Amino acid sequence: MGGAGSNLAALLERGVGVELVVSHRAGVGALAIARAHRVPAAVLLPSRYPSREAYGEALRQAFDDAAIDAVAMAGFLRWLDAETVQAYRGRIFNVHPSLLPAFPGLHAIRQALAYGVRWTGVTVHLVDEGQDTGPVVAQEPVPVEPADTEESLAARIHAVEHRLYGDVLQAFERQRFFVSGRRAIWRP
């Protein structure tokens, strides 16, 4: 689930099993990448549904039809409803371009630059009902260089996202960690 699809491309290159790509917008890069890899893809436009709950029902139907084990979001978060979060609790992942709980929500990279932090980074977390509030599974810091622009910092952050998200999803496939309360416990 995403937009430009750079995380999707990285996951496919890593060999993470992707059964279905869902986009909330038509014509985005993720859909072309899915086509190129012959992965089934669906566009579910929120505007076509009367409520967030109805949209969630369509999402769950698509997930059930594809018999997925987990959901990996990249730029999709605000479209999930509580029932879908509950149905897939512990199996919905998101990648966020900051060290949460710093700079949640949109424009995390811009927020970090505006604040003047020396370090920001990437968080892969499980999704709960809040915005970027679920248990952290993995984090990696990224330095902010004095000459950084939003573009240069984003490029370094995205490179880390592409590696860390694949690490976590492959670890999930191999049951290398479990979550207890708010903590991800990694097996040695």
Q: Does 4 sit near ligand GRF (CB under 6 A)? A: yes
Give every CB contact of residue 126 below 8 A, 6+ residues apart in sequence.
89, 90, 92, 93, 94, 134, 135, 137, 179
**37 flagged as catalytic:** no
What's phi and psi for 4, nearest 5 deg?
A: -60, -35
Choose the catalytic residue: 24, 37, 96, 107: 96
> Alpha helix (H) ranges present in 6-127?
6-14, 29-36, 52-66, 82-87, 108-115
Q: Does 132 bind ligand GRF (CB under 6 A)?
A: no
Kindly state the number of chain residues that form the binding site for ligand GRF, as judged by CB under 6 A: 14
Contact 165, 1 (CB under 8 A): no
Of positions 56, 97, 121, 166, contacts ligand GRF by CB under 6 A: 97
Give yes or no for a contact between 122 and 160, defined as CB atoms under 8 angstroms apart. yes
Site for ligand GRF in 148-177 (CB under 6 A): 158, 161
Closest CA to 124 of 109, 104, 105, 139: 139
Decide: is 142 part of the binding site for ligand GRF (CB under 6 A): no
Residue from 16, 21, 95, 138 touching ligand GRF (CB under 6 A): that is 95
* Residue 151 or 180 with smaller CB distance to ligand GRF: 151
Contact residue for ligand GRF among 16, 31, 96, 134 (CB under 6 A):
96
Does residue 148 sit in helix, strand or coil? coil
Examine residue 134 and tell whether it contacts ligand GRF (CB under 6 A): no
Residues classed as catalytic? 96
- Under the rule (CB under 6 A), what is the footprint of ligand GRF? 2-7, 30, 74-75, 95-97, 158, 161
